Amino acid sequence: MHPSAKGRKYLLAFALSAAIFGTIIYASNYFESQRMAELRAIEDQISIDTLSLDTQFSLLEHAPCEDTVQGTELSHELNDLGSRLSYTESRLGSTDPEVVRLKQQYTLLEIRDYLITKQLAAACGAKPVTVLYFYSNSGDCADCDKAGYALSYLHDNYPGLKVYSFDYHLAIGALTTLITLDKVKDDLPAFIIDGAPHYGFTSLADLEAAFPKGTLSALATSTATATTNTKK
């Protein structure tokens, strides 16, 4: 091969390698920036929701009980935020430091909403139906995914049902205190349904049967009534 031809061959190979390397670096930087933007968006929304929750409670403290029977109005936002956080966790892994920090903040937001719901219910004599769901992403809960899907199904069909999901092993003091006060055993998945503990998951029908008799049908009725009133 002529020396100049060989040189051109090496130069072309070098240019091709440099282009591939540059593309990899660009793609890596792009996806990292996208990841950080997504995490910042979730963090900003958590901060906004936390402030909204505190402000809303201050307003509702002085409102007539007929205006507070439904409790706080952040359920929809909490569900959307939880879905986004779950998606981010599935992409980055449950041990990613940023994911862990956001889960801690989101967990605090859920606990605050749960406590406010209880306080408003006690003050106004309302009876919200709540489920505290404890799961694990540490490989020690074979049925947690199925239990999560079942709870999502129930919430979709009974919007008045308030579901709070907690990573049992998440290192945060408020969650540890909640687990201790409710005496939640390390037997996952675990549910506190209307104040009563239930462990394990077998089927959707069995989960529905764990609710006090008539609770879900009452939720369906109240949801239908609220929908009808909204359309008037």
Burial of 118 (0-12, 13-18, 19+ CB in 10 A): middle
What confidence score (pLDDT) does residue 150 get?
Answer: 95
Residue 34 is predicted with a pLDDT of 66
Q: Which domains does the chain have, with CATH numbers?
A: 66-231 (3.40.30.10)
Q: CA 216 to CA 126: how far, in whole Å?
A: 16
By CB atoms closer than 10 A (0-12, 13-18, 19+), residue 44 is exposed
DSSP of 101-148: HHHHHHHHHHHHHHHHHHHHHHHHT----EEEEEE-SSS--TTHHHHH
User: CB within 8 A of 160, min separation 6: which ones?
Assistant: 70, 128, 129, 219, 222, 223, 226
Locate 18 and state its tokens: 């440099």
Residue 170 tokens, joined: 């998440």
Record the tokens describing residue 223, joined without a space. 């949801």
pTM above 0.75, yes or no: no
Tell me the CA end-to-end span of the chain in Å, nearest whole number.
Answer: 86
Cβ-based burial of 218 (10 A; exposed 0-12, middle 13-18, buried ≥19): middle
Helix (H) or strand (E) holding 162: strand 162-167
Q: What is the pLDDT of residue 228?
A: 42
Cα separation, 28 vs 72, in Å, equals: 41
Q: What pLDDT does 67 receive?
A: 56
Walking along the chain (232 residues) 10 residues at a time, the average pLDDT comes out as 59 67 62 68 72 69 59 62 77 81 86 85 82 93 94 88 93 95 95 94 94 84 49 45
Mapped onto helix, strand or coil, the DSSP state of residue 182 is: coil
Residue in 144, 139, 118, 142 with CA at minimum distance from that of residue 129: 118
